[in-house]
Amino acid sequence: MAEEAIRRRERLDRGVKVRADTVYAISSWKEMMFLLAPRALLVIGLLCAPLIAPNLYWQRVICIFGVYALLAIGFDFLAHFVGLVSLGGALFIGVGGYISGICNHYYGISPALSIPIGTLAGAVICTLILLPTLPLRGVYFAIITFTYPVMAERIICAAGILGGTDGIPGLSMLPSTWVNQYLILGIVIVSTFVLRRLVNEDIGIVFRGVKDNDQAIRASGISITYYKAVAVFIAALLGCLGGAYMAHLYGWVGISLFAMDFSVFPLVATVVGGPGTLVGPVLGSLILVPISEILRAFGALRIVFYSLIMVLFILFWSEGLLNWARRKYEQFEHWVRV
Amino acid sequence: MKKILALVISLSFVLLTAIADAKPIVIGVATDTQILDGFATIRGLNLAVEEINSAGGINVKGEKRPFKVEIMDTRDCEPGVPVSEALLVLEKIILDKGADFIIGPGRSEAALAALGLIANYKKIQLLTCGGLSPKFHGTIAENYDKYKYAFRITGESRYMVEEAMDLLGGLNSKYGINRMFVIVEDVAFARAGGEIASENLKKKGWEILGYERYPAGTSDFSAGLLKAKDAKAQILFVMGEMAELSILINQWNDMKIPALPFGNYLGPAMEPKFWQVTKGRAAYTIVNLVNAGNAPSNATPWTMKFCKAYEKKYGTEPEGYGTSSGYMAPYIIKDAVERAGTLDPDALVTAMEKTNLVGVYGRVRFDPKSHQIIPQLDPEKGAVGTIFQWQDGKRVVVYPPKIAMGEVKFPPWMMEYWKIKKK
Amino acid sequence: MNILVYGLINSLLLVLMALGFALAYSVSRVPNFTHGALYVLTGYLTWVFLNRLGLNYGLCIILSIASVTAMGWLIYQLTVIRVRGMPTSEIIVTFAISLAILEFLRWRGLRGATYVLPVFHLSTIHIYGVPVDAQRIIAVVITAVIVLALWLFTHYTKVGLGLRAIAQNERAALLLGIDSDRAATLALSLGSALAAIAAITILPMGNINVATGYDVLVSAIAVCICGGLGSWTGTILAGFVIGFAQMIVVYFIAPHLAMVVALAAVILILIFKPSGLFGRQKELEERV
Amino acid sequence: MGEEVFLQVRNLSKSFGGVRAVNDLSFELYKGEILGIIGPNGSGKTTLLNLVTGFVRKDSGKVVFKDNDITHWPAHKICDIGLVRTFQIVRPYATLPAFKNMIPPLYSPRSKRSASGKLGDRDAVAIDLLEEVGFERDAHVPYKLAGSLPLGYLKRLEFARCLAMKPEIICCDEVFSGLSMAEIASMVPLVERLQKDGITLVMIEHRLRELFRVANRILVINFGEKIAEGVPREVMKDKKVRKAYLGEEVEL
């Protein structure tokens, strides 16, 4: 027992990692591999997914995964780099979806164009809608973003606009399942790396300041609201893209695009995958979407299941998968006597 | 070498298939198992499948094949669940479970959204319940070649309204009732029903005193009821599937509103338990059950047989909308498949269109354009609906006349308020 | 007249729904997203006790209230306490738990018009010619009683004063040796108890179904925010504002806008007076 | 030090709840001077600073800087026109190297403008600035994690942050507090150099001795009200001041 007491676990950074972090020029193959391997693994893994998917149904699941992944990335970015906990992922999906749906249905614009339009216009609109709420924080922002989608849904129902509860069916679909999958996967990969780069740029530091050092930011003559808006815009881009894509994936938009699932799932994915890593959410969705598909047989029970997962993770393993894996990857752990 | 190998493999394959002759025909049920329609359908369906399988299955070109049922919850009637979810379920059933026939989904919105999918995969889809919106077979008729794989073996709002108008017309001529107030749930099929009803009754010289939409989750209908009372309504035309509508009935009774609630589709009030749960406040409520057989009646010889069998298996009368149609679905499929002698979708479509068998709720025939089951007042001619009224604890069928088991009654406070007496 | 009577009833019911949430938040600063779930759970438990175990109604009520209160206590002790002070995590945890409860009930087959609690007393009273069923009257009375009781509790009992102290200024209260964690636990249990009471009072009017959970949560949040999170007077006032607003809209515009009204109120309030009608928060910057 | 009034504060008031933190307080700041603001604990010094720099809303009063009325401007806008401040409690990005802490000010619109749009490699600029305020480059201090730096360096970091803004006025909130004698000794010349570079300073201080060495004028406040103003030595002779500081009836 006493023996145990004087032993403790020590963590050492791998030499490679230490250098790779600080020194900007990486000298040896070893170091390059050290940095490249995980990224390559992710990219290749994602790109191979469609090939190993057993059948069309699972390929469709991959597409859905893509949408959720985008949402999750957006959520993680907002929550852990800018400090805005948004429970309104559905708003992004809905707005993006509807806009591209409208473009396609009423103006006959082809998906190739309507998706980008939906994305951009959607993001702008979402940012404008959320603008007044940006000074709010924590619980307040979370709650109000939570109410926005519900609001949108009710209004569309009540006013009977945009096809009311029927939605707008018969949109033009995307050409082939392969396009479907690689389009979304490509977007996921690109946006992940772009965002990761972004948060390590100078602007990333400003964002982080907005999150937990806002005095310093304002004392530097930088408008916090402005950068919050920028951040929301970025997240909205991802969300709306997901929505627009979804609209043409099923050739249909309706109020259920504002459904709560879209707001909740990103949370779970992020919590499980590893908050504050941006790749974590992707990983999280990659694990959870298929699981929830497999559990489909259990009906409602599967929601129970993944909300419990969420609780457990946040209580007992809040670092999430990726942070953990990363620690293991970058550090030796061993027992030392003290 | 290779060739031989290939030969061997293919041979063994052939043999295997030959051995496994009883390859089941898969019926995929993708509906919301959490609401009455959905799970009533499933009960009815299972009952039928049992009967068929125990009777030796389906005869496809001499080969006897059993039914196999794959059930999946689409959660499509829950709030906060995207319809894409339901579509995903459909694809899972079709691609993963290899369903040959699709039942559902329930909610109109989902059913409409599903049409495209069904068209892509060329599977025969039978709508047993929900999806009452006329838009459904409307869409099929518009674009027959694409959507021809979908059939609806149950009534739809527009026809239900016709039944309703027929019944109300009767009341009108008998008691001179002609003032109606409309309260519908805020969903596609109900709104459609409400609007059609108001229009047509207006034409027939009825006064439509108001039209109110309530969203799911409403816990207080006093506003609408009091409006109806102040407007001196005689009929409360109600349509909707949400459980909250039982609140409406309770309040109607508590407030003694002198108007007769006519549930042209009234989810909760269909269930046999409704009387107990409302402590008898359901009395006099009229409910349209869409298809005969959802409550005991003598529509066809088969009807009572079905009700007995159902009661024997589940210990309760057929629960409500979706039960009898769920029960009929396998029989209709069986009939079509046996006539077509194949599972090729296009052949099946033509076979289905020629369907003509007398089922639980009358003769099943489809309109060749819109694939809507042809409704009739006479079970000999087509599918009959059923409208019943809650009378001291029992669901008494009052319409259509051919199968009626009782007369429409009025609550005493209404009688005295309107001095109602036969003309 | 109709509007007056039913507006009053509607408002008080809203207040009743919101009180639990308000109490829990004002003391523990934990947004208890399980509120709605507990509400439905209470109904379900009572129903089970009543119809499966065939107990006496009163006993069922007491049992279910007790067990839900305990539930609230457990939720705090087992989960929330570990993430206290991390708003994101608090939200996620409570939200997840409520999802779990509700979806579990759904899976247990909580559906259709079957699940109904008997009304306390079946009769109709006419107030200035407006017919109102007894249950609603009873509900109004109960709400009034509870509000009064709460007021007395927080103004004249030691524990109550402690809670209020925490609610107003946690740090100072800590200095005075009030155990914030115990207070929070108490608050969450009380909050759950209130949710339970609300359920017992309101559910007999309709039937128990899962969706109710979400609706109750949303309206509770709406009321609390409009009243200013953490202010009980505000909550009650907001209850009336929203309640009557809804009634008026339902009467003169359209019933299906009722929920929109509540949500719109939230958004407007948060935009123009983020601290709510009666909120104690001093400045935007100081709020988290 | 010119006589031109640079910053003018008129009848400023602020109360939290019942407490009047700052009460009808007025003073001028002349270009290029160092104004020391002293007062016993809780006399409202920091609040005054917060009000002037716009970090707390003003109840009433007027603040004019370079003849634009900045009374109701948001904090970041006030900083943007060159009225910057340091914080008493320094909260750096603990997990970032010191020079990365300089990014926000260098990223700010103001420094972008002053660098005529194109600002070279921010990191380089940051490191130069840090060296200016005494981060020994050859000892790799600028590269150390901000969290690991001693308080002395953090206070310097605050100055560097302000300098990055190319400020005209720096309001220093207790830069000396919590520092060792040696650290303070090395800090004083820095302050003097800032003044030489033509920056006007407002310094809130407890450490009177050091303050009197650098300050040109002293403003004494108590209970949010100005009780004295003048040259350092003179001020301390004032009765009210000594009462405020040393309590009743003390003879010198």
Q: Do the beta carbons of residue A333 and residue A11 sit within 8 Å?
A: yes
Contact A147 C107 (CB under 8 A): no
Q: Which residues in A17-38 are b (16+ Cβ under 10 Å) and which e?
A: bebbeeeeebeeeebeebeeee
Average pLDDT, chain C: 82
Looking at mean pLDDT, say which of B2-6, C49-53, D235-239 comes out highest.
C49-53
First to last CA, chain D: 33
Nearest residue of chain A to residue C89 (CA atoms): A314
* Angle between helix A177-200 and A224-250 (nearest 10): 170
Structure tokens, D107: 């990223």
pLDDT tens for A253-264 read: 877 788 777 888
Q: What is the pLDDT of residues D199-229, one digit of tens each?
A: 888 888 887 777 888 888 888 888 888 888 8
Residue A228 has pLDDT above 60, yes or no: yes
Residue A2 has pLDDT above 50, yes or no: no
Give CA–CA dist C36/C89, Å, rounded: 19
Q: Give the separation between CA D84 and CA D75, rounded to whole angstroms.
A: 9
User: Residue B24 sits in which domain range?
Assistant: 2-155+298-364
All domains in chain C, ordered by first residue: 2-286 (1.10.3470)
3-state percent helix, strand, coil for chain B, nearest multiple of 5: 45, 20, 35
pLDDT tens by residue, B91-135: 888 888 888 898 878 777 788 878 878 888 888 888 877 667 777
> What percentage of chain B carries pLDDT values higher than 90?
5
Q: Do chains C and B touch (3 or more CB pairs under 8 A)?
A: yes
ipTM of the complex: 0.76
Domain boundaries, chain D: 5-246
CA distance B305 to chain A (A): 33
Q: What is the least distance, in Å, from the CA of A134 to any CA of chain C?
A: 9
The band of A5, judged by pLDDT with boundaries at 50, 70 and 90, is: low
Query: C188: which residues sit within 8 A by CB, 6+ positions away?
Result: C24, C28, C30, C32, C72, C73, C75, C76, C80
Q: Quick check: is B385 in a domain?
A: no
Q: Do chains B and D touch (3 or more CB pairs under 8 A)?
A: no
Q: Give percent of chain B with pLDDT exceeding 70.
A: 91
Q: Residues in chain D whose beta carbon is closer than 8 A to a beta carbon of chain C?
A: 16, 55-57
Q: Which two tokens stand for residue C253?
A: 């515009």
Q: Does D84 touch chain A (CB under 8 A)?
A: yes
Buried b (16+ CB within 10 A) or exposed e, D163-182: bbbbbbbbbbbbbbebbeee
Residue A124 has pLDDT above 90, yes or no: yes
User: pLDDT category, A145, cuts 50, 70, 90?
Assistant: confident
Quickly state the pLDDT bin for B421 (edges 50, 70, 90). Answer: low
Residue D3's pLDDT band (cuts 50, 70, 90) = low
Does position A121 have pLDDT exceeding 90, yes or no? Answer: yes
Q: Kindly determine whether residue A307 and residue C97, on different chains, have CB atoms separated by under 8 Å.
A: yes
Q: Does the pLDDT of residue A193 top 80, yes or no?
A: yes
What is the reported pLDDT for B15?
47
> How far is CA B280 from each of CA B304, B319, B412, C56, rounded to the nearest angstrom?
26, 18, 14, 21
**What distance, in Å, lies between the first and last C-alpha atoms of chain A?**
15
pLDDT tens by residue, B158-185? 788 888 888 888 888 888 888 899 998 8
Each residue's pLDDT tens digit, B47-71: 999 999 998 888 888 888 899 888 8
CB contact under 8 A, A219 and D74: no
Q: Is residue B384 part of a domain?
A: no
The answer to whether A212 touches A83, Cβ cutoff 8 Å, is: yes
How confident is the model at residue A120, as a pLDDT? 92
Asked if the C-beta of D57 comes within 8 angstroms of chain A's C-beta atoms, the answer is no
Contact of B197 with chain A, judged by CB distance below 8 Å, is answered with no
Give the containing element (helix H, strand E) for A13. Answer: strand A7-13
The CATH code of domain D5-246 reads 3.40.50.300
Q: Please report the pLDDT score of residue A26 as a whole number.
A: 58
**Does the structure show a pLDDT above 50 at D249?**
no
Contact between D91 and D119 under an 8 Å Cβ cutoff? The reply is no
Please report where in the chains the tokens 């059939």 appear, as a residue. B151
In this structure, what DSSP letter does residue A173 have? P
- pLDDT bin (cut points 50, 70, 90) of residue B81 is low
Cα–Cα nearest to A137, from A232, A26, A211, A47? A211
- What percent of chain D lies above the pLDDT cut of 70? 92
Higher pLDDT: C264 or B391? It is B391
SS3 assignment, position D229: strand
* pLDDT score of B17 more than 50: no
Size of interface A-B (CB pairs under 8 A): 89
A-proximal residues of D, 184-243, CB under 8 Å: none
Positive/negative CA dihedral, C262, C266, C267, C272: positive
- Region A274-303: what's the mean pLDDT? 81
| Residue of chain C minimizing CA distance to A272 | C92
Q: Across residues A216-225, what is the average pLDDT?
A: 84
Q: How far is CA D189 from CA A180, D134, D186, D202, in A?
A: 66, 11, 6, 16
pTM (2 decimals)? 0.80
pLDDT of residue C276: 65
What are the beta bridge partners of residue C132? C125
Q: How far does C267 lie from chain B, in Å, by closest CA?
A: 20
pLDDT at B267 over 90: no
* CATH number of residue B247's parent domain: 3.40.50.2300
Name the range with the highest mean pLDDT among A227-231, D11-15, D20-24. Answer: A227-231
pLDDT confidence bin for A321, thresholds 50/70/90:
confident
Q: What would the two tokens of residue A5 be? A: 């007491």
Residue A222 has pLDDT above 80, yes or no: yes
- Which of B158-162, B228-232, B279-283, C193-197 tops mean pLDDT? C193-197
pLDDT given at position B3: 57
Are C116 and B246 a contacting pair at CB < 8 A? Answer: yes
pLDDT of residue C39: 92
Cβ pair C270:A311 closer than 8 A = no
**Confidence category of residue D179, pLDDT binned at 50, 70, 90:** confident
How many C-alpha atoms does B267 have within 13 Å on its Cβ side? 31
Work out the end-to-end distance of chain C between its first and last CA atoms, rounded to an integer number of angstroms: 43
List chain A residues with CB under 8 Å of C274: 135-136, 140
pLDDT grade for D158, boundaries at 50, 70 and 90: confident
Domain total in chain B: 2
Q: What is the CB-side half-sphere exposure of residue A263 using CA atoms within 13 A?
A: 28
**pLDDT (0 to 100) of residue C286:** 35
pLDDT along chain C (288 residues), means of 10: 84 90 83 90 90 85 92 88 79 86 82 73 78 86 90 84 75 73 86 91 83 84 80 83 87 79 78 64 37
Q: In sequence order, what are the residues at sequence separation of 6 or more whose Cβ sits closer than 8 angstroms to the Cβ of residue D200?
A: D6, D7, D29, D30, D31, D32, D33, D34, D35, D168, D169, D170
D155 touches chain A (CB under 8 A): no
Residues B107 and B206 in one domain: no
